[in-house]
């Protein structure tokens, strides 16, 4: 297991080797900091730059990605820093607990202890500063039939394609909300799947309300146009203001029902239409993964898409001393923003006075676009209109909507935590990552509450008992 | 010719090896996860739930949802989307919590 290279530990531990973490680690190492770069995955890149295992010998991984050359540039710098002993890449390691050491180190710097598991073994390492770049996971809203085999997350379909070169089916409906849907549909069609429809709950008109913000990020428009052209070439139909309100099948999905939504995402009766398919890729945007920071009391802010993100200052500092954050943990905004924020955090941690105006301007433009995007894809309050009493909401514990409604209406629960205690919804293996946003909405929670996960992944009791 | 993920990425993996799923041989490419090898054969479910006994397979594909659990080489509750399909791996559909042997 990784242990600190010496008694003083690393100058910086970066948690997450996606765009933000990679950019942060190499920029910090450029300035002479000794870094540990930890990631739960087998290879650096995170979800965005997820790529085939080397044994699959893919000559053209770039065809699975946007901006692949950016990743190659970061990977080359990472390799040089690893060779020089400035970065230790610790793949396959999940940081399950982040602990501030009392009093800091001998030099008076803040000091951190990171508890790490490989699933088989646990250990810990120490660092003077921590950059949290843990990214995000997908937001799911339940609907009848969403637990059928063949129904997968949009990000999951992307991940399995990028890493394993496989598809869940041949005729795949893509549904939910957010820009990931267009990217997923473009990848799936490029890889040979037929995509009969992309079903987007938002109306995309939200983007038109702030033309100035859009004009400042021409690259983002270009991406949208690229996806649009690719989809048009494959005759993929984009259905806006619509949702998959049911997946059909007994042993696996064989069709979906799509309906129009009103402005609040309530299905409009009489607009249902059935589409045959053998897979459905679904997701409703992304949720920042924050628990390591919120367990330490880091302050959060509510993003226009209804999720919580860490509150950071102009130099990416969280409200916890010695803890920085970059990328999706500061609000979902995509890889380009994550790269800028990772670099800005590294500059601050390395003690550089003021970053370049160009870098700050890039962050401002991209953050502006991210907030616009978040508002355009915020789930409407009417989505529970497509639930039925027996629709499973919590996949792990198999808790139907009816039991959650009972907990709220008859037993008086007003938040997800109380619903969990009464129904077990959110108590299973995934720790509420799949059903959390839905349960909170059904409980009538208006403002999101920070996730409470003292440990960020399941850990064996024996390993916990041995924590130093 | 029909496009495939492998042709898109111009992949030229070594020859497939074999894993076992519920007693039958399944080809797997070097570097693929167990879940990917099963998807490649059109297999989408390899677990039944504890309460209703319903079929489940990979959902999130990144190790977060724990829906893709299976019994792997005798060990229940293994996330197949993270585990490599190494030659000779034995995968069994997991029923419920996977500890029927302890009952």
What CATH number is attached to the domain comprising A396? 1.10.10.1100
Which of B2, B3, B9 would you mutate first to test chain A, the one with the most A CBs within 10 A? B9
Which of A232, A261, A284 is the endpoint of a domain? Answer: A284
Domain count of chain A? 3
Please, are residues A87 and A25 in contact by the beta-carbon 8 Å criterion?
yes
Asked whether residue A219 falls in the same domain as residue A248, the answer is yes
Does A377 map to a domain? no
* Distance between first and last Cα of chain A: 14
Does A434 map to a domain? yes
With a CB cutoff of 8 Å and minimum separation 6, the contacts of A293 are: A98, A132, A310, A318, A320, A323, A325, A329
CA–CA separation, A357 and A364 (whole Å): 10
User: What pLDDT is stored for residue A105 in this prediction?
Assistant: 61
Does A228 map to a domain? yes
Tally Cβ neighbours within 10 Å of residue A238: 18
Residue A212 structural domain: 149-284
Does A462 map to a domain? no
Tally Cβ neighbours within 10 Å of residue A83: 9
Residues forming a β-bridge with B70: B78
Please, are residues B46 and B93 in contact by the beta-carbon 8 Å criterion?
yes
With a CB cutoff of 8 Å and minimum separation 6, the contacts of B44 are: A149, A150, A168, A252, B38, B57, B58
User: What is the average pLDDT across B85-103?
Assistant: 89
Q: What is the pLDDT of residues A319-337, one digit of tens each?
A: 999 999 999 999 999 999 9
Of A55, A57, A191, the CB nearest to B5: A191
With a CB cutoff of 8 Å and minimum separation 6, the contacts of A81 are: A25, A26, A29, A30, A35, A87
Asked whether residue A106 falls in the same domain as residue A27, the answer is yes
Q: What is the pLDDT of residues B5-45, one digit of tens each?
A: 999 999 999 899 999 999 999 999 999 999 999 999 999 99
Asked whether residue A162 falls in the same domain as residue A174, the answer is yes
What ipTM does this complex have?
0.96
User: What pLDDT is stored for residue A8 in this prediction?
Assistant: 61
Asked whether residue A186 falls in the same domain as residue A303, the answer is no
Asked whether residue A105 falls in the same domain as residue A216, the answer is no
CA–CA separation, A146 and B27 (whole Å): 29
Q: How many CA atoms lie within 13 A of B6 on its CB side?
A: 15
- At residue A178's C-alpha, the angle toward residues A172 and A182, to 5°, is 45
A456 part of contact set with chain B, CB < 8 Å: no
Of B4, B62, B66, the CB nearest to A47: B62
Q: Which residues of chain A have pLDDT under 70?
A: 1-8, 103-110, 205-206, 208, 221-222, 225
Asked whether residue A291 falls in the same domain as residue A276, the answer is no
- At residue A285's C-alpha, the angle toward residues A280 and A287, to 5°, is 125
Region of A18 please: left (phi>0), alpha (psi -120 to 50) or beta: beta
Asked whether residue A261 falls in the same domain as residue A310, the answer is no
Of A147, A161, A251, the CB nearest to B5: A161
CA–CA separation, A467 and A123 (whole Å): 8
Asked whether residue A121 falls in the same domain as residue A226, the answer is no
Asked whether residue A263 falls in the same domain as residue A215, the answer is yes
Please, are residues B59 and B92 in contact by the beta-carbon 8 Å criterion?
no
- Higher pLDDT: B46 or A121? It is B46
CA–CA separation, A437 and A287 (whole Å): 9
Asked whether residue A60 falls in the same domain as residue A71, the answer is yes
Angle between helices A180-190 and A154-164 (to 10 degrees): 40
Please, are residues A116 and A1 in contact by the beta-carbon 8 Å criterion?
yes
Does A119 map to a domain? yes
Asked whether residue A164 falls in the same domain as residue A266, the answer is yes
Does A466 map to a domain? no
Which of A284, A313, A344 is the endpoint of a domain? Answer: A284
Tally Cβ neighbours within 10 Å of residue A222: 11
Asked whether residue A163 falls in the same domain as residue A247, the answer is yes
User: What pLDDT is stored for residue A7 in this prediction?
Assistant: 53
Query: Residue A189 is encoded by which pair of tokens?
Result: 């069609």
Q: Which residue of A has its CA nearest to B8?
A: A191
CATH class of the structural domain B16-96: alpha beta
> Shortest Cα distance from A165 to chain B (angstroms)?
5
> Shortest Cα distance from B76 to chain A (angstroms)?
13
User: What pLDDT is stored for residue A371 in this prediction?
Assistant: 92
Please, are residues A62 and A69 in contact by the beta-carbon 8 Å criterion?
yes
Q: Residue A177 maps to which CATH number?
A: 3.50.50.60
CA–CA separation, A86 and A27 (whole Å): 11
Tally Cβ neighbours within 10 Å of residue A251: 12
Distances (CA, A) of A360 to A211, A221, A312, A420, B22: 21, 21, 14, 42, 56
| Chain B residues with beta carbon closer than 8 angstroms to that of A426 | none
Does A374 map to a domain? no
Please, are residues B34 and A160 in contact by the beta-carbon 8 Å criterion?
no
């Amino acid at each position: 297991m990784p242990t600190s290279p010496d008694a003083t530990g690393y100058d910086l531990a970066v948690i997450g080797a996606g765009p933000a973490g990679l950019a942060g680690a190499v920029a910090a190492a450029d300035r002479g900091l000794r870094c540990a770069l930890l990631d739960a995955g087998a290879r650096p890149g995170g979800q965005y730059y997820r790529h085939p295992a080397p044994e699959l010998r893919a000559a053209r991984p770039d065809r699975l990605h946007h901006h692949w050359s950016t990743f190659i540039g970061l990977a080359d710098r990472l390799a040089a820093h690893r060779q020089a002993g400035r970065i230790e890449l610790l793949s396959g390691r999940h940081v399950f607990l982040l602990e501030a050491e009392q009093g800091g180190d001998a030099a008076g710097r803040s000091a951190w202890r990171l508890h790490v598991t490989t699933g088989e073994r646990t250990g810990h390492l120490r660092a003077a500063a921590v950059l949290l770049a843990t990214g995000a996971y997908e937001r799911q809203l339940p609907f009848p039939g969403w637990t059928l085999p063949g129904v997968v997350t949009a990000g999951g379909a992307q991940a399995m394609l990028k890493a394993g070169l496989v598809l869940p089916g041949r005729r795949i409906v893509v549904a939910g909300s957010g820009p990931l849907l267009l990217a997923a549909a473009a990848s799936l069609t490029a890889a040979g799947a037929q995509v009969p429809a992309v079903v987007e709950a938002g109306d995309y008109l939200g983007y038109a309300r702030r033309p100035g913000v859009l004009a400042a990020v021409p690259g983002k428009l270009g991406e949208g146009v690229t996806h649009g052209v690719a989809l048009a070439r494959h005759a993929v139909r984009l259905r806006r203001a619509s949702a998959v309100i049911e997946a059909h099948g007994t042993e696996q999905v064989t069709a979906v029902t799509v309906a129009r939504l009103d402005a609040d995402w309530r299905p409009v009766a009489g607009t249902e239409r059935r589409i045959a398919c053998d897979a459905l890729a679904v997701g409703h945007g992304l949720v920042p993964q924050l628990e390591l920071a919120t367990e330490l009391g880091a302050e959060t802010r509510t993003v226009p898409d209804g999720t919580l993100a860490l509150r950071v200052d102009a130099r990416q500092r969280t409200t916890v001393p010695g803890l920085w954050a970059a990328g999706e943990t500061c609000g979902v905004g995509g890889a380009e923003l994550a790269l800028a924020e990772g670099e800005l955090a590294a500059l601050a941690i390395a003690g550089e006075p003021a970053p370049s105006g160009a870098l700050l301007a890039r962050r401002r433009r991209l953050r502006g676009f991210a907030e616009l995007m978040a508002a355009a894809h915020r789930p409407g309050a009417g989505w529970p209109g497509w639930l039925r009493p027996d629709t499973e909401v919590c996949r792990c514990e198999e808790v139907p909507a009816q039991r959650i409604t009972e907990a709220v209406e008859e037993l008086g629960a007003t938040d997800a935590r109380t619903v969990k205690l009464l129904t077990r919804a959110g108590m299973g293996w995934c720790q509420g990552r799949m059903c959390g946003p839905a349960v909170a909405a059904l409980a009538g929670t208006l403002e999101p509450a920070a996730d409470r996960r003292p440990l960020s992944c399941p850990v064996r009791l024996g390993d916990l008992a041995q924590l130093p | 010719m029909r496009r495939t993920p492998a042709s898109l990425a111009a992949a030229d993996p070594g020859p497939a090896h074999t894993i076992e799923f519920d007693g039958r041989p399944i080809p797997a490419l070097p570097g693929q996860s167990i879940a990917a090898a099963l998807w490649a054969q059109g297999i989408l479910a390899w677990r039944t739930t504890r309460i209703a006994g319903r079929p489940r397979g990979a959902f999130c594909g990144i190790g977060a949802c724990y829906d893709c659990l299976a019994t792997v080489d005798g060990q229940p509750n293994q996330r197949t989307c993270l585990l490599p399909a190494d030659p000779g791996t034995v995968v069994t559909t997991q029923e419920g919590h996977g500890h029927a042997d302890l009952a």
